[in-house]
Structure 1
């Protein structure tokens, strides 16, 4: 018997655990979404850096041809 005459069962404990874990699950989902967005931004920036690097090399080559 639990406090106040209530009987604690495995089901009660699992229900309580589920309720207590819900905010944690929401935070994990939120952080996972943020990580996914950040990874996409990093990928996009990596592509932009590669493009700018190629442009810089082409510009250097063009300047060498002009001179």
Structure 2
């Protein structure tokens, strides 16, 4: 599956068939500090990401 990361902006590929939580672990990311987006859909940590998916990972932003 194709992974698009932001901050810093880069792309990588990882074999599919794994949960979103596991993807974060493999990339060394804190699951609570990022949003995982597949297409136009925000995915949960237990969602299974498939080989053909393109996933975007964005940092959680907050402000006041």
Identify whether the pair has TM-score above 0.5, normalized to the shorter chain.
no
Work out which structure has the larger RCO, using CA pairs closer than 8 Å and 6 or more positions apart in sequence: 2
Bigger fraction of residues in helix? 1
TM-score range, shorter chain: under 0.3
